[in-house]
Each structure stands twice: as C-alpha cells, then as structure tokens.
Amino acid sequence: MNIKMDRNDKELVITLEGKLNTLTSQELDKQMDGKLNGVERLVFDFAELSYISSAGLRILMEAAQIMDDQGEMIIRHINEPVRDVFQITNLLDEFIIED
C-alpha cells in the first residue's frame, strides 16, 4: 500500500493506494502517529484504495474519535467494493463520505 500525506495548515489529506489490511494498517497507524495534532480537517482519499479490512476500519474509527474533539473527518472517493464493507459493517452513517 502507498500512503501519501499532505498537510496544508490545519488540513491533512491522507491518500491511500492499494489494500488497507492487517499488515498495512499497522504502517498507516505508525505514519499517522502524532500527525493529527493541530489538524482541524482530516481527509482520507480512497480513490485508489481497492480493499479495506476490519483492521483498516479500526484505524478510521480511532482517527474519527480524535477528530470529534478537533474538527471534522471526511472520506472521499470511496469505490464500490470499499463502500460495501462500510455498508456491511453498518459504518456508512458513522463517517462523512464525499464522492
């Protein structure tokens, strides 16, 4: 999985490419460590994300909890297979999802 992080003042955009599974979620967690300090708008770009596992969902839930206190979290460009995982786990309504 490729992880790209772009910080612009109080906004952080995290672009993910590939599969967010048990192994790659650990890498994402490490790269995000400390990076949410001072962020008021967190955006995940899933345009190139082909798969997400429960471990990936856990990372998103943890980020959402942090952002509840600091601002907002948005997930963009979610494709159908990833959207299906959100729907099956009843998490579609838990996040702000933009096309």
pTM over 0.85: yes
Binned at pLDDT 50, 70 and 90, residue 23 comes out as very high
Rg of the chain on CA atoms, in Å: 12
pLDDT, tens digit, for every residue of 66-86? 999 999 999 999 999 999 999
pLDDT, tens digit (0-9, with 9 covering 90-100), for 28-45 = 999 999 999 999 999 999
Number of domains within the chain: 1
22 pLDDT more than 90: yes
Residue 99 reports pLDDT greater than 90: no
DSSP state for residue 39 in the 8-state scheme = -
Q: Provide the residue type at 7 as one letter.
A: R
What range defines the domain where residue 70 resides? Answer: 2-98
Task: Give the CATH number for residue 29.
Answer: 3.30.750.24
pLDDT digits (tens, 9 = 90+) for 43-59: 999 999 999 999 999 99
How far apart CA 31 and CA 93 sit, in angstroms, is 26
SS3 of 57, please?
A: helix
Which alpha helices (DSSP H) does the chain contain, by range? 22-32, 54-70, 80-88
Instruction: Please give the pLDDT value at position 14.
Output: 98
